[in-house]
Structure 1
C-alpha cells in the first residue's frame, strides 16, 4: 500500500527505534509514522488540484482588473 512512498514506514521505525522499552510504544510510533506518510501522500495527491485552483484564481483576478 506504500508503493508510492517506496518503502514501508513500519520497517523504518523498527530499524530506527529497535530498543523501545515496551511493545505498545513501538506500535504507537509505527501508527504515527503510517498516519504521517498517508498524510504526506494525500497532500502530494492534492497538489496538482491546488495548483490548478491557484492558476484559475490568478487568471480571474487579472482578468477582472
Structure 2
C-alpha cells in the first residue's frame, strides 16, 4: 500500500489555516506546514501544485520508497 504525507500551505493571518492546524494537531494527524507569507518560494510551489494561491491548501504527497 502506498504511503502518503500530508502537507498544508497556510498564512499566519488566515483563521481557517490556524483552525486546520489546530484540528490536525488535536487529532494526532502528522503534517508538514508551509507558511507562504514568510517564504515566497512556497507560494510559487503552491501555485504550481494547485493553480491558485488560496489557503489553506491541503496536498497529499506520495512518499518515496
Q: What TM-score does the superposition give when structure 2 sets the normalisation length?
A: 0.27
The answer to which structure, 1 or 2, has the higher relative contact order (CA under 8 A, 6+ apart) is 2
Higher relative strand content: 2
Q: Which has the larger radius of gyration?
A: 1
